[in-house]
Each structure stands twice: as C-alpha cells, then as structure tokens.
Amino acid sequence: MEKKKRENYLIVLLAGLIMIFLIYIGSTWGNKLKWDFTEENLYRLSSGSINVVKKLNSPLRIKLYYSKTAANKGTEGIRAFNNYFTYVKDLLLEYVGHSRNNLTLEIIDPRPDTGDEENAITYGIRKFNLSETESYFFGMVVENDVGTEKIIEFFDPGEKDKLEYAITKTIYSVARPAKKKIGILSSLPLQSDLNPYLAQMMRMQGKNPPESWAITELLSEFYQIEKIDPMAQEIKGIDVLLVVHPKNFTEKIKWAIDQYVLGGGNLLLLVDPMAVIDRPVNPSAGFSRSSNLPVLMENWGVKLEEGVFVGDKSLAGLGRVTPEAPPAKMLQIVSCDERCTSPYKDITTTGLYDLVFLLPGSLKILDKKAVPILGTTEIGNTFSASEFELNDPIALWHKFSGGEGRVMGVKIMGMFSSAFPKGITVETKKLTGLTRSKREASIIVIADVDFIHHQFAFKETLFGLALANDNANLFLNSVENLSGSTDLLSIRSKGVKKRKFNVIDEIELEADKETAETVTRINASISEAQTELDKLGAQVNEGNLAVIKSQALNKKRELDKRLAFYKGQLREVKRQGREKIENIGRFFQYLNTLLIPLLLIMGGLIYNTIRSRRNAREV
C-alpha cells in the first residue's frame, strides 16, 4: 500500500515536470504561430518593411541590447519594459524571417564591467543607472561587413507607434549608407548665396547680410543641400526635390519638375494661398503672396483651392492683429493637435501634436493615388477674406461657418503621365521628354509655406534658436520620408488609435461652443462700454466735468453688473456641461456595478421560491 502511494505521488511529480517542460517548449517554439486581432495590425510587419529586408543583398547584423538581469532587479514598474522588449524582439525576429538569411539577430544582456557593456557604450546605446552597480540598456545596433553601423539608442515604449518605421529605416540606412542630396527650388530666399567670408565682412561693417533660413541650416545638418536654378531645364543628381512657394515659375522649370517626377524623383511641395512671410523688398500694388502649380498638381491628382483659406474654430490659435490688441482666438491661425494628424496614421505626421499654420490652403483630392496626411477636424471649412477682413478677427469668426473638414497635406505615390505630353517650346526650341513615369515616384504636398519660417517654427532661447513646436519636425519628417525608398514611405504608423469617448467629447464641444459665445458677448459688452466711456470722455469740459464723471461712474457700474451676469452664465454653462458628463459616468458605473447583481438576486429568489414551493407540493 505504502509503495503504491509513493508511486502515485511520484507520478504526480513526474506529471508536473512534464507539464513545465511542455509549457517551456510551447513558449519557446510556439511564439512564431500568431494571429493579430487588432484593427491596426500592430503585431504584423507591413509590406514596406518586408520589401526592404527582402531586397537586402549583403549580410547585416542586428545586435539587440537589453539589460534583462538588471531589469529584473528593478521595480515592478519595469515589467512594462520587459514586455516591450518581448514585443521588439518578436518584431525583429519577423524581420530576420523575411530577410532570406541576410539578417542575423543577436540578443545581448550587457552586465556591468564586461566587454558587452563597453561595446554598448561605444556604439552609443543610451545608459541608465539603476543603482550604483547596475546599468540599464535597451537599444539596437545594425551593422554590415564594411563597418557601417546605425543605432537606435533607446527603445521608448511611448514611441511604439513609430517602432517599425525606426527599425526599417535603420536597416535601410545601413544597407544604403550614402548621405542624401536635397535640391531646393524656391521663390523665397531659403538659402543664402553669400560666401561666409563676405557675410562676416558685412557683419563687421555693421550690415545685416542675407542669411539662410533656420530650417535650411537645420536641414544641412542631415543632408547635402543643392540650390536648383529656377531657370534650369533639367533637374537631376538629387534624391529629393524641395519646391517651396512656387511663384511665377516659368514653363521651362515646370517642365523640368514634371520630367523629374516622371523619372522617379521624389518631391516635397509647399504651396500657399497667402504666404505671410513673402514680404516684398519694394512693396507695389500688384504684389501677390500666393503660390501654386495648378497644371502639375492637377496632373498628380491634387488641387489647391484658389483664393480660400482653411479655418477651424476648434483649432483656432491665439493671436493678435496689432501689438496693442488683446490676444484672441483667430481663424487665421490653425493650431493643430493630434486631431489633425492621428486619423491619417501616416508616418510623416504621426506623433506631431503641436503644429501651427498661418492661413493655410485647402487641398482637393482628384485622384485616389493622393491620400490625406494632414487635415482639420470635422468642423473645419474654407473661408475667403480680403486683407482688410483679415485684420478683423472677431468679424471673421462670426462670418465663418463650419463644414465637414478640410485637407491641408497629402501624399501621392505611383506612376504618372506627363502634364506636357506634347512637350514645350522654349525660345523656338521644342523640348520633348518622358510622357509616362519610368519609375514610381512619391510626392508630399502641404498647403502652407509660413510654417517652416523661423517666426513660426523656432523660438529664441538663451542658447540660440530652439524648436518652438512640431513644425520643423513635420518638414524634416517629410524630407526624411521622401529620401528613403518607396517601401519605407509606404510604412504606415502603427499608432494605437486613440479610441476616444465621442459622446463625452461632443458634450464638451457643445459646452465649449456655449462658453465661447458668452465670452464673445462679454468682450462685446466691454468694448461697447469702453466706446461709450471714451465718448463721454471726449465731451468733458470745465462746465460739465461733474456731470460727466457721475455718468461715467453709472456706466461703469452698469457694465460691472452686466459682466457679473455674464460670468454667472459662463459658470452655469460650464457646470451644466460638467454635470452632464458626471451623470453619464455615474449612470454607467451603476449599470456595470449593480444592474446584473440585482437582476441575479431577483432571479435567484424567484427561482428558489418556485423550487421550494414545488418541493413542498411534492412532499
């Protein structure tokens, strides 16, 4: 009996060990079999990434540095990093799986005072000190046999949406390491022609030499920059063409742009119905600040709506028309947050939540090749206004009516036909060229120029110019995106869609609307009372001073009363909005906490009463 008992316990122990072994085998080998149930396909590589690794023709090594041992010594909070490490590792294994044996993955846990730690520091992987003895690394190096290496210095779980793009870009840039060349073609002085020596001389003479725009300086840190002659007949030898504010362009340069795109060249085009920064040296009556390339753009599948600007009351930024005027919400300023970029899930604009545009234009999509990457909210619309009207933001605000949303930026990818199929004639000379695309090209069009000017993209700090918002990032993202391959361009951002409480947002928007109306009424009352007081002030003379003074005091008292009334209204509107939201929250809390338990108690009581009655009857 004892022997049998011991045998049985041994079997239980053996079964336990087999169970652990089976689980371990399943966890190690069964990870490759997976199904992604997310709407955004968060756990699958996009076709762009697959193409990039499939096209590799030389071996690359990926070294993933993760301080697992150190992380395990950390707090419970570091579990998020452990989970993110698993996500990154699984994604990298997918890259390796698609690379036809051209990629290898090595996972390194750098321990203190070892060669691995030294290497991680030499590569530039970011180091965090967890304690006096433990350091934490979570980065990646991609290198090839000829010594080219690129790193991701730290995998931030907060940037999960850009992870795939970052990895693919790193692999791509190691596979093609040459510095990219950007051609700039603009009617604005983006790049100064002045020799640095001459500029220095001019400064010494107390003159202000023309300088390149801050954005061009920033661009030159990452790329080789070449100025394109506006009279050129051919554009070649560059990786990306940047056309900014194409104003009064000749047929010849338009033809050159057309041929450049047909040849597979990538283009970033910034057009504007009114570029405020386009200031004439000698102001003249017929000066126009608008730019457009209608024939070419329509041929690519997009059109800039002429003479109208995009406005959105929910995105209106604060500004003032004159330095003396109080700051007010202005339709002219479109201050974008995630609502302008998140819905499009494009890698160029994803994660940019602070963009400022001044009188941007509206882009109409004519062909399905063009996809929006930047837009207003669903209440955005276009408006037209004369220069005079633009100086009266309050009147403009009241005149504006909401629409169904407008597009301010698009990305176009594909093959095109020429906008000049029969060629052009320049000074009696006939120019002919490609009539259809040779290779696929990519174009990004943004309907604003002002956003890259340092006035809107940078701010002065003690240490020089610093980024004021995401404007420069939008510009750099676009250039970077276009300087990669079309595969890289096609990678969509894997942003987890922010699934907002639409109902609550609507209530808040409604309350905001009512608040804005009351604020406008308050402002109108103040300015009305101020005008009356000014009028009274103008009538003052020695004889009527006392009378006017008492009238002014009465007016002031009346105004204070009116203001108190409006402020009360304002509080009431805000309270009502808040209460509505709190009531909804409370309702759902009760619904989810109490409804089913109460129903169950009632159901149970009824069921058991019936049962006991039936039993009693049977007895």
CB of 116 to another protein, least distance (A): 15
Does 24 help bind another protein (rule: CB under 8 A)? Answer: yes
Residue selected from 600, 610, 613, 614 as contacting another protein according to rule CB under 8 A: 600
CB of 606 to another protein, least distance (A): 12
- CA distance to 192, 256, 333, 464, per residue, from 456 (Å): 20, 31, 11, 15
Spatial separation of the C-alpha atoms in residues 571 and 49, rounded to whole Å? 53
Q: Give whichever of 395 and 606 is closer to another protein, judged by the CB atom.
A: 606
CB within 8 Å of 78: residues ≥ 6 apart:
71
Number of neighbours of residue 209 by Cβ within 10 angstroms: 15
Does 537 help bind another protein (rule: CB under 8 A)? Answer: no
Residue selected from 45, 48, 64, 79 as contacting another protein according to rule CB under 8 A: 79
Question: Which parts of 199-265 are beta strand (E)?
Answer: 224-227, 240-244
Q: Give whichever of 76 and 427 is closer to another protein, judged by the CB atom.
A: 76
Residue selected from 426, 591, 606, 610 as contacting another protein according to rule CB under 8 A: 591
- Backbone φ, ψ for residue 444 (5° rounding): -115, 130
Binding region for another protein (CB under 8 A) out of 71-79, 286-294, 333-341, 362-370: 71-79
Binding region for another protein (CB under 8 A) out of 349-357, 471-479, 540-548, 592-600: 592-600
What is the per-residue burial (b if ≥16 Cβ within 10 Å, else e) of 453-477?
Answer: bbebbbeeeeeeeebbbbbbbbbbb
Residue selected from 33, 231, 538, 619 as contacting another protein according to rule CB under 8 A: 33
Q: At what angle do helices 471-483 and 214-222 cross, to 10 degrees?
A: 40
CB of 28 to another protein, least distance (A): 7
Spatial separation of the C-alpha atoms in residues 324 and 332, rounded to whole Å? 18
Contact string (CB under 8 A) for another protein, positions 471-500, x = contact: --------------------------xxxx
CA atoms within 13 A of residue 452's CA, in its CB half-sphere:
33
Spatial separation of the C-alpha atoms in residues 291 and 288, rounded to whole Å? 8
Length of the chain: 619
Binding region for another protein (CB under 8 A) out of 3-11, 94-102, 172-180, 194-202: 3-11
Does 564 help bind another protein (rule: CB under 8 A)? Answer: no
Contact string (CB under 8 A) for another protein, positions 568-587, x = contact: -----------------x--
Q: Give whichever of 18 and 564 is closer to another protein, judged by the CB atom.
A: 18
Residue selected from 57, 75, 284, 541 as contacting another protein according to rule CB under 8 A: 75
* Nearest 10 degrees: Cα torsion 556, 558, 560, 562: -140
Spatial separation of the C-alpha atoms in residues 556 and 548, rounded to whole Å? 12
CB of 103 to another protein, least distance (A): 22
The residues of the shown chain that bind another protein, judged by CB under 8 A, are 1, 4-5, 8-9, 11-12, 15-16, 18-20, 22-24, 26-40, 42-43, 69, 71-76, 78-79, 82-83, 86, 497-504, 585, 588-589, 591-597, 600-601, 604, 607-608, 611
